Amino acid sequence: MNDPDHSGEDVTTNAPIPVSPERHGGRFWRRFTSWDFAARRRLVPIVLGEHEQVAASLPFFFVRTRAGVWPVALSRLREEGPCAMVSPNGVWRGSYIPSILRVHPFTAQRTPEGSLALLVDEASGFVTDDPGDEPFFTDDGNPTPAMQQVIGFFQERTAAETRTRDAMAEVMARDLLVPFEAPPGLAQMDTQGLLVPDRARIESLRRTELSALHRCGALVLLHVQAVSLHHLPLIAAAEAQPDRPASAAAPDLPTAAPDTPGPAQEAALSGFLDALAASQEREADLPARDEDEKPDHDGPTGTSRG
């Protein structure tokens, strides 16, 4: 299974290069106009602040990465094969696009000194010598306004990653995740490495543990992950017709299942939600969170959908 890190880098690809005036002064980058590059990504890292939008459009799971357990959106059922979320003509089919995809070919990471380093995938085909594209730097070596937008995005995302990391630490401290088992009707799905909330463990949580999960945003993250599993039949249906084109004006992958889930899948989801509801009853008097968990992770480097 490909191992994406928190920045969205797929470690099976060429390593991105730090952006610098020395290397990229006088060079340019091109805004993408097709989502074809995203079709290669089965697992896409997400962060708190976009988890509800993702759950309304895509299934997501938890996986072990080089830097710890992390939530990731799932774009196809199998490791190899057609990507349900990208049409043959390069249109994104869902109603929400994970934020890290919207800043391709850029990623970012913390340096050993703690500063934020912006990286670019020079093998992506979007780094050019064409003056008609976006310059990286001004003549005096400062980031251009377009690059400032990219940097601003990653500054916001890094803050969201910190909140996500804290939430996942609370989840892992209580051993609340178990391996996912494909429901009946989705036997073709590759499930290795995919983790989901443990219904029994959540049901047994004490009030103090629920309080800690609530305050860091982990409780709602676990909740919406269970809801997101309703999209798995949609992914299967889209993969069954991989050659169907999509309209840029109207994505052809709906955000709600066209058919009622099978009894086994419905029972599994209902059971988890019942367990979560029972836990939340004991949490009813907890104070509201102080921080807003819904930053707008707009991506400045590509199209809005197609």
Is residue 154's pLDDT more than 80?
A: yes
Contact 162, 152 (CB under 8 A): no
Tokens standing for residue 218 = 């982990």
Is the pLDDT at 284 greater than 60? The verdict is: no
- Count other C-beta atoms under 10 Å from residue 179's C-beta: 11
Q: What is the pLDDT of residue 183?
A: 87
263: Cβ–Cβ under 8 A, 6 or more apart, which residues?
A: none
The number of helices, as runs of H, and strands, as runs of E, in the chain is 8, 11
- Predicted pLDDT of residue 282: 52
Say what the pLDDT of residue 130 is: 97
Mean pLDDT of the chain: 82
pLDDT at 193 over 90: yes
Q: At residue 195, does pLDDT exceed 70?
A: yes
- The average pLDDT across 22-40 equals 96
Check: CB of residue 92 under 8 Å from CB of residue 251.
yes
Q: Kindly give, in sequence order, each residue whose CB lies less than 8 Å from that of residue 138, ignoring residues fewer than 6 positions away.
A: 144
- Per-domain residue ranges of the chain: 17-281
b/e burial code for range 248-282 (CB count within 10 A of at least 16 → b): eeebebeeeeeeebeeebeebbeebeebbeebbee
